[in-house]
Homo-oligomer: A and B are copies of this chain.
Amino acid sequence: MFEAKIRADILKEMVNVVTTLVDEIKLNISGDGIQMKAVDPAHVAMVDMTLKASAFKELKADKCEIGVDIDKLKEVLKLAKPDLMITIQHDEDKNNLILTMDNITRRMSLVDTTGMSDPKVPNLNLPAKVTLNVDELSQGIRASESISDHITLIASPDYFELMSEGETDSVNLKVPKKSLKSLEVTEASKSLFSLDYFSNIVKAIGAGRDVNINLGTNYPVKIEFAIAEGEGHVVFLLAPRIENE
């Protein structure tokens, strides 16, 4: 059994996060909330998202798993104003999900979860932790787009830097410690990432929000942020590229 009421904008935040990496997602549902984990098809990035029961207006659920086609959720959300309340019901007989809002009832078939793995989120101990406004990251990404397909993240005790180098041109965005929300660096760290993946992850974070970046040297980066007004939590892991590939 799964029945929930949730505000359209919170469901939209959730959908924006998972659509970054996958087209279909397995929701692990219980009375405590919803959890979902996914790895992109190329195994470069991973997401682990939790939405607490308190993120919902109402949540009645037995422990269950359902597989959802994310594009179908997006279509429904296009019809909804941000503060609209959406009712979600699992019709177990037909294996359908029924979404209701205003006068609209949308019945969608579910996706088979048999082949969907439960990726294990590795436990990383990363020596640099940065908290900053996501808009700084967005600006650095935009500056890098014309330079290279890669972006280097650098954390030192005094600053956090995004750098992109092409054959003849380069760009740096260097944020000094005083412009960061926090900066704890036990070891200066530097890793190279796919600009495309990094950009898509950053787009999933609402403008103006704070984000935690956990960085090492030639290690995956861990990108953490809150959703659902603090009642949800997202962790992205993105694998590094080797510098001279």
Q: When the two chains form their complex, are residues A103 and B173 in contact, meaning their CB atoms are under 8 A apart? A: yes
Residue count of chain A within 8 Å CB distance of chain B: 31
Given contacts A78-B142, A139-B79, A142-B78, contact A169 B103 (CB under 8 A): no
Q: When the two chains form their complex, are residues A174 and B143 in contact, meaning their CB atoms are under 8 A apart? A: no
Complex partner residue of A174 from B105, B175, B179, CB under 8 angstroms: B105
| Stretch in contact with the other chain, from A40-48, A106-114, A201-209 | A106-114
Given contacts A78-B142, A79-B139, A139-B79, contact A72 B106 (CB under 8 A): no
Closest residue of chain B to A71, judged by CB?
A: B146
A residues contacting B by CB (< 8 A) are 71-72, 75-76, 78-79, 102-109, 136, 139-140, 142-143, 145-146, 168-176, 179
Q: Provide the bound-state CA to CA distance between A78 and B143, in Å.
A: 9
Complex partner residue of A109 from B78, B105, B145, B169, CB under 8 angstroms: B169
Q: When the two chains form their complex, are residues B142 and A79 in contact, meaning their CB atoms are under 8 A apart? A: yes
Q: Which residues of B contact A107 (CB under 8 A)?
A: 169-171
Q: Which residues of B contact A79 (CB under 8 A)?
A: 139, 142-143
Q: Provide the bound-state CA to CA distance between A142 and B102, in Å.
A: 14
